[in-house]
Amino acid sequence: MVVKVYGPAYGCPKRVLVCLIEKEIEFETVPIDLSRGDNKHPEFLKLQPFGEVPLVQDGDYTLYESRAIIRYYAEKFKSQGTDLLGQTIEDRGLVEQWLEVEANNFHRPIYDLVIDVVYAPIKGLPSDPKLIQENEEKVGKVLDIYEERLSKSKYLAGDFFSLADLSHLPFIHYMVNQMGKEYIIRNRKHVSAWWDDISNRPSWKKVLQLYKYPV
């Protein structure tokens, strides 16, 4: 059964795509255009009542929320492709910890930055320089903690690449590319080396080659 991934152009669905490639799972994609409101279409809302992407359909099993989907496939196909959960239950605990840090501490300010810096100008909306500065400072403080952590282990959860690292790819990509704020990464030696490492994985390069960002 080929996994169907909805909304491949966007940041959060790219988390799922890079995971499926790492796990060597066959998939196809269904384009969703948020600017056209495809995600508010009644047929879509039947599958994803919050009107968000990604969504996957795998036979008659439907799942949403990118970090839930990557956990599901990483566990279901634990011994196929790259192991993304660590070897022990304690490794997995740390993967979960850093995945939560990504979602709660990193993603919130970076998401607001992407909206304010990248999307507001396109939509003709005002962007707030004070808010941009505040969110940039928040991201910086989180990355200072990553810098310390990555001075002690090669990846966030330990010396193995995991869902916790993978989950950062789509939005750090925005920061380094569309936002023109690569310096936030480059100012931090260990974060910079970690970014080079994870963003050069063939899986991520393949995602970027196959599915352009909407902006």
Residues that bind a copy of itself (CB under 8 A): 49-50, 61, 63-65, 67-69, 71-72, 75-76, 89-90, 92-94, 96-97, 99-101, 103-105, 142, 145, 148-149
Shortest Å distance, C-beta 202 to a copy of itself: 26
Beta strands in the chain (DSSP E): 3-6, 27-30, 55-58, 61-64
Q: What's the closest the beta carbon of residue 88 comes to a copy of itself, in angstroms?
A: 10
Q: Shortest distance, CB of residue 99 to a copy of itself, whole angstroms?
A: 7
As to burial, measured by CB atoms within 10 angstroms (0-12 exposed, 13-18 middle, 19+ buried), residue 2 is exposed
- Cβ proximity to a copy of itself: between 49 and 124 the closer is 49
Cβ 165 to a copy of itself shortest distance, Å: 15
What's the chain's Rg over C-alpha atoms?
17
Closest to a copy of itself by CB, 37 vs 180, is 37
Which CB sits closer to a copy of itself, 72 or 213? 72
- CB nearer to a copy of itself: give 85 or 201: 85
Cβ proximity to a copy of itself, 51 vs 121, nearer residue:
51
Q: Single out the residue of 104, 193, 187, 96 nearest to residue 151, CA to CA.
A: 193
Q: What are phi and psi of 26, to 5 degrees?
A: -70, 140
Shortest Å, Cβ 141 to a copy of itself: 9
Q: Token pair for residue 8?
A: 């491949």
**Helices 169-176 and 11-22, packing angle to 10 deg:** 120
Spatial separation of the C-alpha atoms in residues 65 and 167, rounded to whole Å: 12
Please, which residues bridge with residue 4 across strands? 28, 57
Distance of CA 141 to the CA centre of its chain: 19
For the CB of residue 205, give the shortest distance to a copy of itself in the complex, in Å. 27
Q: Is 48 or 203 the residue whose CB approaches a copy of itself more closely?
A: 48
